Structure 1
Amino acid sequence: MTRSGGFAGLSRKWRAEAGESDAERWRALIEGCPWEAVTILSDDTGADRFLWRLDARCGERAREAELADADVRGPWRELIDAVKEAAGSSPRR
């Protein structure tokens, strides 16, 4: 997952991998998002706005989405928060 934009256009990256004990939780988080219904939902992509890029893999199935910060809510927010928590508090640059 990558978040770009904001002050100075910096990019931040987070990564999480499911272990055997939490695979079902991750599967539910990923499948709860409307992947097929989104590219960029909002036109709120002006200067200093964040853009989120999510890539998820469940077995052989790969999914990708780009979201304006204003569209990160509901299941998207849950997934993003879970990835950030699993990756720790400091993102990679």
Structure 2
Amino acid sequence: MAATTGQAALLVLLLVTLGGAAKAQPPRGTCGAQLSQLAPCARYSVPPMPGQALPAPGPECCSALGSVSRDCACGAIDIINSLPAKCGLPRVSCQ
């Protein structure tokens, strides 16, 4: 699955939001299990310090991201996009 850096960041954010799903051992093949494998992508999804370039993801991150199904990734992005409204906050727009 090809994904943008923004999608990877959103997936890692969901992973963090779930309270450390990387430490849990959900049943293999579930969306939670797929997302829990994204830990190697965490450092590539945090904005760099001013003046520094965002590093290119390493092979472990790319492999993990490639194993996340489209349905799982889209579901995670939909959940993340719905969180501000559920918290009474304005929707985040990056455009």
Q: Normalising to structure 2: TM-score of the pair?
A: 0.28
Q: Normalising to structure 1: TM-score of the pair?
A: 0.28
Question: Quick check: which one's strand share is greater?
Answer: 1
> Which one has more relative contact order, counting CA pairs under 8 Å at least 6 apart?
1
